[in-house]
Structure 1
Amino acid sequence: MSAEAPTPHPEMPRRRSRVVKSNRTQILLFSVLTLALTAAVVWGGRTWLRNSETLVFAVGESTGPEARFAARLATVLKNNSSRLRLKIVPSGDNAKALSQFDRKEANLAILRTDARIPPRARSLAILDHDLFLLISPGGKKIKTIADLKKKKIAVIADSESSVALVRNILELSDTPDAAARVQMAPPGSTFDRLFTSGFGAVIKVAHASHIVKDKSYEQLARRGGFTLNAIDSAKSIARKNPAVSEETVATGMLSASPAVPEEDLDTIGLEWLLVAQSKLPTATVADLARIIYENKTELALPDGFASKIEPAATDKDAFIVAHPGAAEYINDESKSFIERYSELIYVGLAALSIIGSIFAAIYTKVTRVAPEKASQLATAILDIGERMEYAKSLDALDELQDELEAVLRGVVIGLRDGTISSDGLDTFKLGYEFVRDEIGLRREHLKRHPPPGDDKVVAVKTAQSA
C-alpha cells in the first residue's frame, strides 16, 4: 500500500514592485536648463549692448580736412573701445559728399553753413569757423558797406561759393557788372599784388584756426602793408542771411606785434558743422557726441582745423537744429541705462513673465512628476491582503507585516518631502487598518491551528509572545 504524497502548499505570489517616483532628477535638469537659459539671455543682452555699430562718414577729397578729421575720429573711437565704428567714404568734393548724405547713403558729413543743407541734417558739433577778413591797402579804411560796394573786390577763398556769398551779401547778384566787381583771386595771390592790380578791397575767407597760426599777417603788418576793417553791419547781415553768423576778430588775432586788430572788430563768418542723419538713434549720437567732446585735443588737426570744437546750437530756432542725442549730452540730460531702455525693459519683463508662465506650465504638466495620492497606495496594501491567504507560517506572515509597515513608512516620508499628497489619506488609512487587522487575525489562527510540521515554530512563537 503506497503512501499518498502530501499536497504542496501553493506558493505565495511575489510582491509587486512599486516604482517610487521622484522629482529630484527633473528638478535638477530644470535647474540646469534655467541656468543655461539665463546665461544665454545675459550673454545675448551684453552682446547686443556692446555690438559694434558702423557709421558711414561721407567726406570730400581724401586728403582734405574733412577726411583727415574723420580719420582721427575713427582712431579716437577705436582707442576709447567704443562700440561705434566709422566707414570713411571719399566723394571727390564736399558737394558730392553732401549729395551722398542727402540720399541717405551716409550717416555723417561735414558741411559749411552756406552749402545746400540736406533737410535731414542735424548738427552734432561746431568744428571750426570761417571768418571774413575785410582787407584794404595800408592807411585806407573802409568804414561802411556802402563804401565797400564802390570798390573792386577780390575774394581769397577755397571755392567760388564764397564769391557768390559776397555778391549776395552786397546785394550785387542782380547787377550786370557784379562778376567784374567781385572776382575770385587767382591762386597764390598776395594782398600787395591784388592792390597793385586795381582791387580796392580784399575779402579773405579762412578758418579761424588757420588765421591764428598764419605768421604772414604779422610780417605784412610790420611793413604797414594792409588795414583790417570791421564790417559795421555784421549783425544785420547775419539776420538777413541765416547761414551767416556774427563773428568777432579778437585783439591781436592776426598779429601780436604790432597788434592787429588793435581792438575787437565785428565781422561775419560761416560755421563748419559735423552733421548726422535725423533718424540716427539718440543713444548712438549721444555716445558719439560724448567721445567728440571728451577728446577734443586728439581730434584737432595739425593745421588747426577742429582745434576748438564747440557745442552745437541747441536752440529750436538754430539754423541747423541740433540732433536730440547731441542736445541730450550738451544739456547734460544724458539718460541712464534704465531711463533709456525703460520701455524695452518693461516689454521684456512682461514677455519674460509670459514665457516663464508657459515654461512653468510645461514643467508641471510634462517634466514634473506629480505627487502620488495616498489613496493610490491602497493598491499596495490590498496586494499584501491578497497574499495573506498564502501565508502558511508565522514567518511568512511576519514578512507581510514588514511589507505593510514599509508601505506606511513610505507614505509618512512621502507626505513629508512632497512626493505623496494627502489626497485620499483616509482611504489609505482604512485599507491599512483593514489589512493590519486581517494579519492579526491570521496570526491568531495560525497559532491555534498550526500547519503540519510547524508545531515547534508555533511553540517558540507562543513562548516569545508570552
Structure 2
Amino acid sequence: MSAEAPTPHPETPPPRSRVVKSNRSQIILFSILTLILTAVTVWGGRVWLRNSETLVFAVGEANGPEARFAARLAALLKNNSSRLRLKIVPNGDNTKALAQFDRKEANLAILRTDAKIPARARALAILEHDVVLVLTPGGRKIKSVADLKKKKIAVLADGENSVAFVRTVLELSDNADAASRVQMAPPNTTFDKLFASGFGAVIAIAHASKMMKDKSYEQYAKHGGFTLNAIDAAKALARKYPALSEETVATGMLSSSPAVPDDDVDTIGLEWLLVAQSRLSTTTAGDLARIIYENKAELALDDGFASKIEPAETDKDAFIIAHQGAAEYINDDTKSFMDRYSDVMYLGAAALSVIGSIFAGIYTKVTRVAPEKAGELATAILDIGERMEYAKTLDALDELQDELEGILRGAVIGLRDGTISSDGLDTFKLGYEFVRDEISMRRDHLKRHPPSQDDNVVAVKTAQSA
C-alpha cells in the first residue's frame, strides 16, 4: 500500500535583528554636560578672583580716632563692593592694639612713629602728622634746644607717651630731675595758667589737622599772646631719631588775626601710619591702598584726623618700609590683570586642555554610541542572501528585495547623519551588488520555472499486511 503526503519546506530562518544606533541623545547629553562643566569652571574662576577676604584691624579705644577711621574704611569697602572686609577689634589703648598686631593676630593697625614698631609692620599710607609746638609766654623766645632743656616744661598731648617722647628728644630721660622738669599738663588747662604756675615753656603735640581747627590759639593770641619758637636743630634731630619728621608750621596756621606764626617756622613732628603685616599679599595690599588713595575725602574724620592722607614713603631707607603692594600702586607699577595672572592663565589653559581631553575620552567611552561601520551591514545583506534559497514564490522574493533596498536606504541616511561610518563601504557595495544580482537571477528562474503541485508531494512507501 502506498500513500502520498505533503513534505514540509525547510523553515525560512528569521532575519537577524540589527540594532539601529543613534548619537542624538548622546550628543545632547554631551552638550549639557559640557555647558555644566563650563559654567562650573567660570563660577569657580570668578569665586577665586573675587573671593572675599576678611582683614582683622586692631585699634585702641572703641571711640578713639583709630577705631573711627577703621569704621569709615570698613563702610567704604562695603559701599564700593570690594572683596575686602574688615573685622575691627578694639583694645584698651593703641599699645595693646600694636601688641595684638605684633602677635600676628591682626592684619592692620595704626601707629605713631614714636611707638614700639613691630618688626613685620609695613606702611600702607600716612594718615596724619603730629606737630610739635614750642610755646613761650609773651615775647620770650627760646634760641636753641639747649635753652629749652633748662626750662620747666608742660606737655599738652593726648597721652603719657608724648611726655616720654619729649624727654627722649631733649635727652632728659637719664636726668635725675627729668620727671619734675617735663610734666604732663592737666587736661583742659590753658596756656596762661600753665605759664602762671611756673612753666617756662609749653610743648603742644597734636594732630596738624586738629591744630588748624583749634580756635584757642587765636583767642589766646588776641588776649595774652604767646611766642611760637622754631626748633633750630629740627633737621639734625630728624636724622638722629628716624621716628621724627621735619615739619613746617605755615604762616597763620594757628591764628589768622593776629597771624601766628607771622612767618614759616621749622619744627619736628611724628607721623601716624596705617600699617599691614608684611605677609599680607601684594594684591590685597595694593587693592586696599588704591581704595584709600582714591577715596580720601570719605575717610576723613569730623575732627580732621586723616583729612590729608599721603602716600607711604617708598624709599628703601624709610623708617617703616612701604608694603610692596602699596609701593607698586604709589609708583604706578601695579601689574595689569594679564601681567598678574598670565602664568596662571597659561598653566590653566594647559590644564584645561588636558582635562578637556580626559572628559572627551570619558564621554566617548561612556555616553557616546560609536557610528556603525558600513562593512558591518554586509552581514545583514548576506543574511538576505542565505534566506533567498527558501523563497519559492515571487512574492517572497519581493519581500527580500524590499528588505535589501531598506538596508541600502538606511546606509545612505546613516552616512549622511554620521550614524554610519564609511569604514568597509567597499565591502558593503560588493555584498549589496552580489545579493541584488542573486535576487534578479532567482526571479528570472522562478518566472521560467514556476513552482508546481508535484514539488510539494513525495512518495511514501508503507508495508501492507497480508
TM exceeds 0.5?
Answer: yes
Alignment of 1:324-363 (within 5 A): 324-363=324-363
Q: Which runs of 5+ in 1 are unaligned?
A: 455-466
Report if aligned partners of 1:127, 1:310 keep a CA contact under 8 Å in 2: yes
**Aligned counterparts of 1:379 and 1:428: Cα–Cα separation in 2:** 9
Partner of 1:414: 414
Partner of 2:462: none
Alignment of 1:316-331 (within 5 A): 316-331=316-331
**Aligned counterparts of 2:428 and 2:270: Cα–Cα separation in 1:** 95
State the shift of 1:177 in Å: 2.3
**Aligned counterparts of 2:425 and 2:346: Cα–Cα separation in 1:** 46
The alignment's TM-score, normalised by the length of structure 2, stands at: 0.93
**Aligned counterparts of 2:332 and 2:19: Cα–Cα separation in 1:** 68
**Aligned counterparts of 1:332 and 1:261: Cα–Cα separation in 2:** 38
State the shift of 1:205 in Å: 0.6
Would you say 1:235 and 2:235 are equivalent positions? yes
Would you say 1:52 and 2:52 are equivalent positions? yes
Partner of 2:460: none
Q: Which runs of 5+ in 2 are unaligned?
A: 455-466
Per the alignment, in what secondary structure is the counterpart of residue 370 of structure 2?
coil
Partner of 1:381: 381
Report if aligned partners of 1:50, 1:83 keep a CA contact under 8 Å in 2: yes
Partner of 1:464: none
Partner of 2:120: 120
Partner of 2:435: 435
**Aligned counterparts of 1:187 and 1:5: Cα–Cα separation in 2:** 138
Partner of 1:68: 68
**Aligned counterparts of 1:43 and 1:336: Cα–Cα separation in 2:** 22
**Aligned counterparts of 1:399 and 1:337: Cα–Cα separation in 2:** 71
Partner of 2:265: 265
Partner of 1:370: 370
State the shift of 1:23 in Å: 1.4
State the shift of 1:184 in Å: 1.9
Bigger CA drift: 100-109 or 143-152?
143-152
Report if aligned partners of 1:301, 1:307 keep a CA contact under 8 Å in 2: yes
Bigger CA drift: 360-369 or 85-94?
360-369
Bigger CA drift: 276-285 or 260-269?
276-285
CA change 1:193–1:224 in 2 (3 A) is closer
Q: Give the letter aligned to residue 416 of structure 1.
A: R
**Aligned counterparts of 2:323 and 2:30: Cα–Cα separation in 1:** 48
Alignment of 1:1-400 (within 5 A): 4-400=4-400
The CA RMSD over aligned residues, in Å, is 1.9
State the shift of 1:5 in Å: 4.5
State the shift of 1:11 in Å: 4.3
**Aligned counterparts of 1:63 and 1:174: Cα–Cα separation in 2:** 35
**Aligned counterparts of 1:93 and 1:2: Cα–Cα separation in 2:** 131
Structure showing greater relative contact order (alpha-carbon pairs closer than 8 Å, 6 or more residues apart): 2
Bigger CA drift: 127-136 or 424-433?
424-433
Per the alignment, in what secondary structure is the counterpart of residue 231 of structure 1?
coil
Report if aligned partners of 2:152, 2:199 keep a CA contact under 8 Å in 1: yes
State the shift of 1:48 in Å: 3.2
State the shift of 1:233 in Å: 1.0
Partner of 2:452: 452
Report if aligned partners of 1:121, 1:320 keep a CA contact under 8 Å in 2: yes
Per the alignment, in what secondary structure is the counterpart of residue 341 of structure 1?
helix
**Aligned counterparts of 2:85 and 2:219: Cα–Cα separation in 1:** 44
Per the alignment, in what secondary structure is the counterpart of residue 218 of structure 2?
helix
State the shift of 1:2 in Å: 10
**Aligned counterparts of 1:453 and 1:178: Cα–Cα separation in 2:** 145
Per the alignment, in what secondary structure is the counterpart of residue 432 of structure 1?
helix
Partner of 1:461: none
State the shift of 1:271 in Å: 0.4
**Aligned counterparts of 1:74 and 1:422: Cα–Cα separation in 2:** 68
Partner of 2:458: none
Per the alignment, in what secondary structure is the counterpart of residue 166 of structure 2?
helix
Question: C-alpha deviations, 1:71-126, integer Å up to 9, x for none?
Answer: 11111222222222111111100000000011111111110000011111111111
The alignment's TM-score, normalised by the length of structure 1, stands at: 0.93
**Aligned counterparts of 1:72 and 1:453: Cα–Cα separation in 2:** 111
Question: C-alpha deviations, 1:200-226, integer Å up to 9, x for none?
Answer: 111111110110000010011112431
Report if aligned partners of 2:381, 2:432 keep a CA contact under 8 Å in 1: yes
**Aligned counterparts of 1:438 and 1:214: Cα–Cα separation in 2:** 117
**Aligned counterparts of 1:166 and 1:150: Cα–Cα separation in 2:** 13
State the shift of 1:386 in Å: 0.9
**Aligned counterparts of 2:75 and 2:424: Cα–Cα separation in 1:** 75
Bigger CA drift: 304-313 or 239-248?
304-313
Per the alignment, in what secondary structure is the counterpart of residue 390 of structure 1?
coil
**Aligned counterparts of 1:123 and 1:347: Cα–Cα separation in 2:** 33
State the shift of 1:8 in Å: 4.2
**Aligned counterparts of 1:302 and 1:362: Cα–Cα separation in 2:** 64
Bigger CA drift: 254-263 or 13-22?
13-22
Per the alignment, in what secondary structure is the counterpart of residue 82 of structure 1?
coil
Report if aligned partners of 1:192, 1:225 keep a CA contact under 8 Å in 2: no
Q: Give the letter aligned to residue 394 of structure 1.
A: L
Question: C-alpha deviations, 1:227-259, integer Å up to 9, x for none?
Answer: 001111111100000000000101100000000
State the shift of 1:409 in Å: 2.7
Per the alignment, in what secondary structure is the counterpart of residue 303 of structure 1?
coil
**Aligned counterparts of 1:325 and 1:421: Cα–Cα separation in 2:** 59
Report if aligned partners of 2:192, 2:224 keep a CA contact under 8 Å in 1: no
Per the alignment, in what secondary structure is the counterpart of residue 58 of structure 2?
strand
Report if aligned partners of 1:97, 1:109 keep a CA contact under 8 Å in 2: yes
**Aligned counterparts of 1:302 and 1:432: Cα–Cα separation in 2:** 96
Q: Give the letter aligned to residue 38 of structure 1.
A: T
Q: Give the letter aligned to residue 22 of structure 2.
A: S
**Aligned counterparts of 2:350 and 2:316: Cα–Cα separation in 1:** 37
**Aligned counterparts of 1:395 and 1:51: Cα–Cα separation in 2:** 76
